[in-house]
Structures are given as structure tokens and as C-alpha cells.
Chain A
């Protein structure tokens, strides 16, 4: 009899311990969550305030009155529409271009046999170590001599060919059974047919992951567009936003409205597809 009560007491004790542990975890999780969210919320709050009311102490979180005009003013102060279009054109072309050239090369490295294949692949791997800062100066000089500075060509072309995409897709292609190729060849399929009708459809998850990260990387890229654009008409969103800052450096309501304009689209897409992003990071990060 006494034993049962002791057992129950122990069980109860364990249960209280579990509850306390749970609460502690939620507290920690929330503290970090608030730290991550506060800058975003503060941006949103400032972007809706009257210009004069941001300089107040203590800071107010709820704008009074709500000033939606800040968004219109920011949008019209510099050609944000043009920046968006440029970013979309550049990011889309770079993404599809890179997927195409990288998957072709990855197919050659993973499925075909030809002289110097492995040596060439090693050369590709070796260049992944070289930072972009080494190659950007000669590439800039060549583009300048071709008078391609401040054009889409300068923004897009260097981004299309990367060793990283080739490497990642090769690893993925290697895991597709080789029997598929052989039976396709017996059926009279060409190598391009194998690539186009068998390998690519089977690699959709890898292509989608690589595509997402190339797109996001190009969309947020700052240094290269900064170097190769001069006119407002050719700037991408990040560079455009930076020059907007240069012109309105202390007009915080406009600056924050512009930040929301730039942040919102990506964040919305991310929040609705976050599982996909999470899977992608793990795939490109460690297993790639």
C-alpha cells in the first residue's frame, strides 16, 4: 500500500518537473522570438508614423494617426517599380540560365565518360574556393571595355555559370540508377533525350532547391550590382534601396516604408513555403 503512494508521488513529481521544463522552454523560445521580431515590427510601426512623431521619447509603438502616404512617397521618390522589374528580370534569368548550364554540365560529369572528365571536375571544385573578389576586377575591366557596364548583360551573365550548382546537381544525378540510361539507350533514346526526359524530371526536388537559393541569392546580391550599375534605371532592389538611403538619410518614415516594400514580398513568399526553405537549406548546406 505504502509503495503505491510512493510511486504515485514520484510520478506526480516527475509530472510537475515536466511542466516546469515545458514552461521554461517556451519562455526561452519566446524571448528569442521577440528579439527576432522586434526589428520587423519597429520598421512597420515607424513606416506608418508621421515624420515628426518618430522623434519622441519614450517611443510609441502604435502610430497615431496612421500615415499610409509614406509608402506612396517612398515609392515615388526613386523608381522602385523599375528596381523591382530589374530584380525580377535579373534573378529569373540568372536562375534559369544557371539551372540549364549547371544541369547539362552535371549530366556530363555524372553520366558520361570522356577523357579528362575527372581532372576537369577537380578544376571546377578547386575554383569554388576562389572568392568572387579575385575575379570581379578583371571581369569588370572586360565588361567596361565591351561597354556593357550598366546593362542587363553585366548584371546577368557572370551569375549564370557557377561551379557550385554543377557540383550540387552532379551529386544528385549520381544517385539516380544507371539502369534507366541503359534501357533508354536500347530503346533508341539519345543522350540529350536521357537528360531531358529521364534525369531532369527525376531531379525536380534538387532543381527546385537550387533554383530557390540561386534566385534568393541573386535577389539579395549587393556587391556585384553595386559595381556594374551607374544609372537609377539599371539598379536592382538592394542597390536601389541603398541609394535611396543616400538621398533621404534621415527621413526615417520614408526609409522604413521603403524597407517594408523591399522586405515584404520575400517574407510573404517565405512564410507560406517555409517547409520548403527549411528542407532546401539542409540539402544545399550539408548534403550538397
Chain B
């Protein structure tokens, strides 16, 4: 090594430079990495959820929707609430396979274009979004406008102990009403869409409890 003392593999100046830069980098990492982890931590913490009672089975008919206010996030009042449109499953039109969470159809009011709240218009039997004109039919399937997939749904169940219908976490569906973990609006789930928009680590999942 030119410039180094005999028997040394590095010059003392270069060694000192490396030590100074290295300790500076370690000191910077010591506060940057925890702060960064703190900022992205919520990506990996699951949203807490619980079965929310929304009323006795008599409240819901097969032919129209009942509007129920539900809570998505606790502790922030109105801003944490959302709306579910709920009806009894109608075997004549609801052709998707039936399981224990599907005796009542509960649709989320979030438009699958960009997340504005849709409104159910009973006369037209359509859900209509005020923002960019998305239109959904009685089952929540897209019939017009920019939405990329049918309205999201909630798991529902009957609680025999209380005699009330309960509403669980949200899930997303593709145009064949296959279930996916909850996605954000604007993310198609047909074909390549389900791979372009992978599941997240933060969403509430039925298997959590």
C-alpha cells in the first residue's frame, strides 16, 4: 500500500476518514431509521373491527335497501362513520354461492371510482355517485360511468343470542362477485387487476378473530 507504514494495509489518513464517515452515517441512521419506521408503521398494523349490530332481521326486505350508519374508525366521531345499504338475500337474483356470511347483502356506500358516497335511488333501483356519475344496479354491479368494479360489501351474520343482524369487515368483489380482501376504490380486480393491486397488510380481516 503506497503511503502506508510498513506492514499496514491502509494509510492512517484513509482509515481515519473511513472511521469518521462511518460514525457519522451510524449517527444519522440512529435517528432516521426509527423515524421512518414510525411513519410507515401503520402500513403493517391491522385495522381493529368488531361485529356491529344493525337491527333485527325484520328490518330488511328482499326488494329494497335499508340505510344503516356504521362505524369504520373509532374515536373521531362523524369522520369515522360510513353507510351500509342492507337487504335480505334474494335467491332469485343473488346467484353468487351462499355461505354463512351472505344471508343479508350489505353494500358499502363508497363508489369504486374514487370513493365518493353513492346514494340509493329506489325509483330507479340504482346506486348513483354524485362526483363523476358512476351508476350501479340493484346488486351493486357497475352499469355506467367510471367505476372499475362492483360496490364493496360487508360480511353479515345473524347473532342468535341477541336476535340481531350483525355486520363485519368490508371485502371487495370482482365483476363475478368473487371475494377479495378490501381494496381501495379505483383498483380493478378483474384479470390482471388483482395482481396490479395486491392485498394490503393493514385491512381488517374476518380471520382475525
The answer to whether A and B assemble together is no
- A residues at B contact (CB < 8 Å): none
